[in-house]
């Protein structure tokens, strides 16, 4: 039997550690295969598939913010008012 050159007690090289990194789970719509690029630390996507950021800042921190009518918080209120109006109209029709 030939003696192995790999010492399991030795610290792995940076390249082999990089190969062990978590892989991106994004799926290609052309091939159907997963991306397999190294994922951003703590995330399941790579730098190219949105692993780095969480999108544009919300609310007034966003440069496109004008009056807050279309913010996520306000959209919930608008939907609630619309639902009430729908119920009211239904009630008005029944009378």
Positions that interact with Zn ion (CB under 5 A): 24, 26, 35, 37, 46, 49
- Closer to Zn ion by CB, 43 or 49: give it: 49
CB of 72 to Zn ion, least distance (A): 27
CB of 46 to Zn ion, least distance (A): 3
What the block records as the tokens of 91 is: 């009630």
Q: What is the 3-state secondary structure (H, E, C) of the chain?
A: CCCCCCCCCCCCCHHHHHHCCCECCCECCCCCCECCCECCCCCCCCHHHCCCCCCCCCHHHCCCCCCCCCCHHHHHHHHHHHHHHHHHHHHHHHC
- Closer to Zn ion by CB, 22 or 71: give it: 22
- Closer to Zn ion by CB, 35 or 71: give it: 35
CB of 42 to Zn ion, least distance (A): 15
């Amino acid at each position: 039997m030939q003696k192995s050159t790999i010492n399991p007690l030795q610290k792995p090289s940076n390249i082999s550690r990089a190969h062990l990194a978590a892989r991106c789970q994004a799926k290609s719509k052309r091939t159907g295969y997963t991306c397999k690029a190294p994922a951003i630390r703590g995330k399941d996507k790579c730098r190219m598939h949105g692993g780095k950021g969480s999108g544009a800042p919300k609310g007034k921190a966003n440069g496109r913010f004008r009056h807050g009518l279309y913010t996520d918080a306000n959209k919930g209120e608008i939907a609630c008012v619309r639902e009430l109006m729908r119920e009211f109209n239904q009630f008005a029709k029944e009378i």
